[in-house]
């Protein structure tokens, strides 16, 4: 449980880097969820909560991207290396192997 708690906070720090408002909101939410369930004794419920927390960490790490408003009608995306993937180029006529 403690390991997952730490992993969530590390992921939060990486995903929301340089965004104090989002960092604080995510910190509060993580702490609140763990605090609300700290007295849970049912092994089944604990495993379910750990699975949810693990899924949240994966979603944060793989799906959340930062964006910054530069003008009234422009947004600059700031992708992390985790999100960048090699892209297969588009071909009008696929070649047969």
Q: What was the pLDDT predicted at 94?
A: 67
**Average confidence (pLDDT) over 3-7:** 93
The model's pTM = 0.72
Q: Residue 40: which pLDDT band, with cuts at 50, 70 and 90?
A: confident
In angstroms, rounded to a whole number, what is the distance separating the alpha carbons of residues 31 and 53?
12
What per-residue string of b and e applies to 56-67 under the rule 16 or more CB within 10 Å gives b? bbeebbeebeee
Predicted confidence (pLDDT) per residue in 60-75, tens digit: 888 888 888 888 888 8
């Amino acid at each position: 449980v403690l390991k997952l708690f730490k992993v969530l906070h590390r992921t939060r720090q990486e995903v929301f880097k340089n965004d104090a408002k989002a960092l604080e909101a995510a910190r509060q939410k993580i702490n609140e969820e763990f605090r609300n369930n700290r007295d849970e004794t049912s092994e089944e419920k604990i495993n379910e909560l750990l699975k949810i927390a693990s899924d949240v960490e994966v979603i944060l790490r793989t799906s959340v991207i930062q964006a910054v408003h530069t003008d009234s009608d422009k947004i600059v995306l700031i992708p992390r290396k985790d999100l960048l993937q090699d892209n297969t180029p588009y071909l009008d006529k696929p070649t047969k192997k």
